[in-house]
Amino acid sequence: MADKTVIVLGTATPGGGFPAYGAPYIETIHEYDSTLSIEARNTKGSTENVPLLEANKLDLGLATGEVTYEAINGIGQPRAANLRIINATYSQSGMFMVRAGSPYRSISDLKGKTVVWGAGSSGFIVLARYVMDGLGLDLERDFKAVFLDKAGDGPPMVLDGRAAAMWGGGVGWPPFVAIAKTPGGARFVAPDADEIERIMAKHSFLKAAALPAGSYPGQDAPIASVGSWPFVLARASLAEDVAYRLARALHRGADALGKRLAQARESTLSNTLAAAPRRDLIHQGVLRYMREIGLVS
């Protein structure tokens, strides 16, 4: 319809967590604000979405906390000036998944083995580099690294034995679901308590995070690891009123979004405020709505 504001949201490769989040996110926004029309676009993920936003070639884009951190601090790239936060998505901790019957129970067990790190431009790989670096390891030097075109290509490699493990994380991440639901099931390999301390000592922007029990079939206990919060980012030039309407629809539709996708229960404006590296990185339109509901003064 002519009166709708069309917004393009960059997600990631098919079969990954960002497209799985994007669909219910868009459905919920549409339900609670009929003036917005969000179109999902499959991209290569976080490391493509950020430069596309910087170049005003996307309106919104999903990005992991690590990629966002590097962009706003100019690590390995010019400092990003055109990024603003619409909302935090859900806490995301990184870990490996192996077949339940495999002999691998620690990160050291996986050294020298074939590991699927995910889609080559995925923010999960950026997280993996920081986590492994905190342990004095390198993805390609210390493992037989596999980088994919699509995250969904990873589970078959673990299941048929071509790979020992796949790296990923978050509640309900589709590749982990695909591995865990097979006969025989799966098991997680994550940093132990000492390793978590070592990682956070070297990379203080990473936080201790746990994968809740029951996040995957057969997982009856929480899994401790480290990670951060991914974000729905916007180009800074996105109209303030559009960002305001997005925040309002997200706030009003919080319950509906949580019912559509369990991990999206964390996609609240209060979590966004807590997860944002700095308040000035939150889009002015979102801050305007936060002030309206009394979340900020």
CA distance 266 to 231: 11
231-235 and 83-88 strand pairing:
antiparallel
pLDDT of residue 284: 98
For 155-193, write each residue's pLDDT tens digit.
Answer: 999 999 999 999 999 888 999 999 999 999 999 999 999
Average pLDDT over the chain reads: 95
**Domain boundaries defined on the chain:** 5-90+229-292, 92-224
For 189-229, write each residue's pLDDT tens digit.
Answer: 999 999 999 999 999 889 888 999 999 999 999 999 999 89
CA distance 99 to 103: 9
Statement: 5-90+229-292 belongs to CATH 3.40.190.10 = yes
Statement: 92-224 belongs to CATH 3.40.190.10 = yes
Q: Mean pLDDT throughout 141-154?
A: 95
